[in-house]
């Protein structure tokens, strides 16, 4: 039963935007949300029935942050209309459900009811499924400009966006999967994988191609960080090979040159990110202590005239192009301080190459897209952290 639920969580996660069942009043509900909330409810009951359960050390500070996120929106009671307030509360509930799910998975690992191998195989399989859907999307829907603008999607063209409908976020997901494969390749006694070397390398190449086809500079940046961390700590050869491959790709694919040179183009998306940072900072400085309330950012932007009730900023209107600025704007300096401690704790606590590469990579990536709060990425980050904590506590790594 537990494995079936985890399987359903990962499958519906992979289907992402294809599982949308409600899109109204700024509230998007997905089958993935329902399955995760169901899983967290089952987990809560299961943990309470077993009077002894463990909250991983890496989750304590996240717990404080998530509680503060709830408090931040309650402190704004009466500031927003009832519908907007309910929407914000729902997203807080979703956030807590991710947290409970991660704790539940940790306890299932502790009680030997599931194995780390099962979790990581599912993550890799989900990445491959998303890649396949991405290839289908490139064939069937290469140009998002044909979509109804009211759906709120950016007009991406000839970029692998898959079921996420966004090349930047799907690129991050591929990098996470690639980092897991690197951990398997460079830790000879890493117990998560039993695949043959050739098979692992093939999958790694698939994910690398996936990242390339997104033509996402932020995903490329994150991939670069992961490669540098693993290159320095595990295999210097990886750095050399990566540089050679990157140069060859740059010279052979004109669009890569265009994407990189476009950073200084005023009409490029990079220009609009600067505008997003400015708008977010302006909102944050007016609500510097407690913020505007978790996930009430869309309504704060409306109040500040950034967009109107008739045009609520599309699917990205609820967030900012910088996760840290988003935290500052929605939960204030108090929330930002707690979040920074929670985010960096695993980096210094476990000394893990996998966690180091992902935390540093996502830190840079999340300054250009709100990747730290994108549902699929947030869920997988929490799961990866707790599985890593469990693995280190059980001495599953060569170097602790």
- pLDDT tens, residue by residue, 281-305: 989 998 899 999 888 888 888 887 7
Question: What is the residue whose two structure tokens read 């950034």?
Answer: 306
Q: What pLDDT score was predicted for residue 87?
A: 82
Q: What pLDDT score was predicted for residue 372?
A: 95
Whether the per-residue pLDDT at 191 is higher than 50: the answer is no
Q: What pLDDT score was predicted for residue 351?
A: 79
Q: What pLDDT score was predicted for residue 400?
A: 35
Q: What pLDDT score was predicted for residue 25?
A: 58
Q: What pLDDT score was predicted for residue 262?
A: 67
Residue 250 lies in a domain: yes
Contact 332, 288 (CB under 8 A): yes
* Sequence-distant (≥ 6) Cβ neighbours of residue 395 within 8 angstroms: none
Contact 327, 339 (CB under 8 A): yes
For the chain, give the percent of residues with pLDDT over 70.
89
Q: What pLDDT score was predicted for residue 210?
A: 97
Whether the per-residue pLDDT at 397 is higher than 50: the answer is no
Neighbour-count burial for 46-82, b at 16+ CB within 10 Å, e otherwise: bbeeeeebebbebbebbbebbebbbbbbeebeeebee
Q: How far is residue 279's CA from residue 381's CA, in Å, rounded to a whole number?
A: 27
Q: What pLDDT score was predicted for residue 298?
A: 82
Residue 400 lies in a domain: no
State the average pLDDT over residues 37-55: 90
- When pLDDT is cut at 50, 70 and 90, the band that residue 190 belongs to is very low
State the average pLDDT over residues 145-161: 88
- When pLDDT is cut at 50, 70 and 90, the band that residue 89 belongs to is confident
Q: What pLDDT score was predicted for residue 204?
A: 93
- When pLDDT is cut at 50, 70 and 90, the band that residue 216 belongs to is very high
The mean-pLDDT minimum among 93-102, 170-179, 252-261, 357-366 falls in 252-261
Q: How far is residue 246's CA from residue 342's CA, in Å, rounded to a whole number?
A: 34
State the average pLDDT over residues 230-248: 90
Residue 74 lies in a domain: yes
Whether the per-residue pLDDT at 172 is higher than 90: the answer is yes
Q: What pLDDT score was predicted for residue 301?
A: 84
Q: What pLDDT score was predicted for residue 193?
A: 45
State the average pLDDT over residues 267-293: 83
Whether the per-residue pLDDT at 321 is higher than 50: the answer is yes
Both tokens of residue 6?
């985890």
Give the count of domains, the chain. Answer: 1
The mean-pLDDT minimum among 98-112, 131-145, 183-197, 316-330 falls in 183-197
Domain that holds residue 309: 2-393
Residue 398 lies in a domain: no
Both tokens of residue 86?
């309910």
Q: What pLDDT score was predicted for residue 28?
A: 82
Q: What pLDDT score was predicted for residue 263?
A: 62
Whether the per-residue pLDDT at 46 is higher than 70: the answer is yes
Both tokens of residue 137?
């999307």
Q: What pLDDT score was predicted for residue 299?
A: 82
Contact 387, 116 (CB under 8 A): yes
Distance, C-alpha 113 to centroid of its chain: 26
Contact 364, 81 (CB under 8 A): no
In 3D, which of 64, 77, 219 has the Cα closest to residue 156? 219
């Amino acid at each position: 039963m537990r494995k079936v639920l985890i399987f359903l969580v990962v499958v519906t996660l992979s289907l992402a935007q294809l599982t949308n069942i409600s899109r109204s009043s700024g509230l998007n509900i997905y089958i993935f949300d329902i399955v995760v909330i169901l899983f967290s409810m089952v987990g809560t009951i299961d943990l309470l029935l077993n009077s002894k359960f463990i909250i991983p050390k890496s989750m304590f500070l996240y717990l404080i942050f998530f509680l503060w996120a709830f408090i931040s929106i309650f402190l704004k009671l009466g500031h927003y209309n009832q519908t907007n307030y309910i929407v914000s509360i729902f997203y807080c509930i979703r956030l807590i459900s991710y947290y409970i799910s991660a704790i539940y998975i940790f306890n299932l690992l502790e009680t030997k009811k599931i194995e780390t191998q099962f979790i990581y195989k599912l993550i890799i399989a989900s990445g491959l499924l998303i890649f396949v859907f991405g290839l289908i999307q490139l064939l069937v829907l290469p140009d998002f400009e044909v979509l109804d603008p009211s759906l709120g999607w950016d007009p991406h063209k000839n970029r692998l966006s898959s079921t996420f409908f966004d090349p930047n976020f799907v690129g991050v997901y591929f990098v996470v999967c690639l980092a897991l494969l690197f951990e398997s390749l460079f830790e000879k006694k890493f117990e998560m994988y039993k695949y043959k070397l050739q098979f692992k390398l093939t999958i790694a190449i698939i994910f690398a191609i996936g990242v390339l086809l997104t033509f996402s500079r932020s995903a490329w940046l994150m991939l670069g960080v992961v490669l540098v961390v693993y290159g320095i700590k595990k295999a210097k050869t990886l750095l050399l090979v990566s540089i050679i491959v990157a140069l060859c790709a740059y010279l052979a694919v004109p669009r890569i040159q265009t994407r990189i040179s476009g950073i200084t183009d005023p009409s490029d998306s990079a220009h609009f990110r600067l505008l997003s940072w400015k708008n977010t900072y302006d909102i944050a400085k007016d609500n510097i202590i407690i913020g505007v309330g978790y996930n009430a950012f869309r309504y704060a932007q409306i109040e500040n005239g950034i967009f109107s009730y008739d045009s609520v900023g599309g699917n990205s209107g609820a967030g900012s192009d910088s996760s840290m600025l988003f935290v500052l704007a929605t939960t204030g300096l108090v929330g930002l301080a707690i979040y920074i401690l929670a985010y960096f704790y695993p980096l210094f606590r476990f000394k893990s190459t996998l966690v180091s590469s992902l935390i540093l990579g996502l830190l840079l990536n999340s300054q250009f897209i709100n990747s730290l709060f994108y549902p699929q990425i947030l869920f997988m980050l929490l799961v990866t952290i707790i599985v890593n904590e469990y693995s280190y506590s059980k001495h599953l790594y060569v170097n602790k």
